[in-house]
Amino acid sequence: MTTTELTINGHTKVTPHHTQRVAYVYIRQSSPGQVLHHKESQINQARIADYAIALGWTTDQIRILTSDQGLTGATSQARDGFHELISEVTLGQVGIIFGYEVSRLARNNADWHRLLEIAAVFDTLIGDFDGIYDLCLFNDRLLLGLKGTMSEAELHLLRIRLDEGRARQLERGEYRQGLPTGLIRHRWRRGQGPGWPTVSGM
């Protein structure tokens, strides 16, 4: 990060008041499949802790939060890590929250703006690979608000594309529903009727 990203109007965003408190690095992938197969994403997200060290936090002050791995950001339900984060901020324990990108923290405006409001009240910074944001500054608050809105809109557009793709597969008779646990799908066999695969137990 450049000096410009850490200052505004000549005032430094990261102060001893922040570095005396802990830094949280929030890591989240949206599904168990991503957790299992996209290991590089986990490494990249954890690597942002290096920024915290460069900004003045010690390794003992950095908390890597991974308890929300495999959970969607579309809601905060069941996301214990997100609720822990909110609680620690309201206790005045957190100097900065890092995420690889802000969509890791929340994919809906209700949770996102709740976090922003609490961070502003308790003077907690938010950081990602684009920069450091001070919620007490109007421009930073405006930018993060826009990022949150775009993140939620992106999720909505992804859902539309997935639903449309599924509908086209159904029209062509190519859609294959996932099977319940314990069943496997074999190759289609002749004489069983068109489009009907063989299904058996494991």
DSSP structural state of residue 62: E
Tell me, yes or no, if 30 is annotated catalytic.
Answer: yes
Catalytic residue among 30, 76, 103, 151: 30
CA dihedral 147, 65, 87, 101 (to 10 degrees): -10
Return the CA Rg of the chain: 22
- Angular region, 163: left φ>0, alpha ψ -120 to 50, beta rest: alpha
Q: Is there a contact between 65 and 100 (Cβ–Cβ < 8 Å)?
A: no
Length, in residues, of the chain: 202
Burial class (CB in 10 A: 0-12, 13-18, 19+), 66: middle
Structure tokens given for 192: 């069983």
Task: Show Cβ contacts of residue 24 under 8 Å, excluding neighbours closer than 6 positions.
Answer: 62, 63, 65, 85, 88, 94, 96, 97, 98
Catalytic residue list = 30
